[in-house]
Amino acid sequence: QKEVEQNSGPLSVPEGAIASLNCTYSDRGSQSFFWYRQYSGKSPELIMFIYSNGDKEDGRFTAQLNKASQYVSLLIRDSQPSDSATYLCAVYPGGYQKVTFGTGTKLQVIP
């Protein structure tokens, strides 16, 4: 059973701070990793994907991947109240296998 683990939160950060969201996965052979943002009652919206070890930056978002530790994270700089949502980590093992989602971390940005 391939597992994707996230702390359910809520993670509370003040406006303007850095929010750090973490995810671990069990399948060492996993190839690609996605971060989705999900507002309550809405569908998941892609934030970032990453497939190489290291950091990938896109605006205020940075994804970090460490395959040796089976760990992927998302940093949100200058957090805004509009960033308040549940962040889903999703892992793709490769080939024609399914993407597995974590349970999500609820982020609350306090004004």
Partner 1 sequence: EPEVTQTPSHQVTQMGQEVILRCVPISNHLYFYWYRQILGQKVEFLVSFYNNEISEKSEIFDDQFSVERPDGSNFTLKIRSTKLEDSAMYFCASSYRPSGGSTDTQYFGPGTRLTVL
Residues that bind partner 1 (CB under 8 A): 31-32, 34, 36, 42-46, 49, 51, 88, 90, 92, 94-104
Q: What 8-state DSSP symbol labels residue 50? A: E
Kindly list the distances between the CA atom of residue 11 and the CA atoms of 2, 19, 105, 106, in Å, as whole numbers in the listed order: 25, 8, 7, 6
State which H helix or E strand residue 55 sits in: strand 54-58
**C-beta of 6: minimal distance to partner 1 in Å?**
9
Residue 59 CB-density burial (10 A; 0-12 exposed, 13-18 middle, 19+ buried): exposed
Nearer to partner 1, 46 or 110 (CB): 46
**C-beta of 17: minimal distance to partner 1 in Å?**
26
**C-beta of 30: minimal distance to partner 1 in Å?**
9
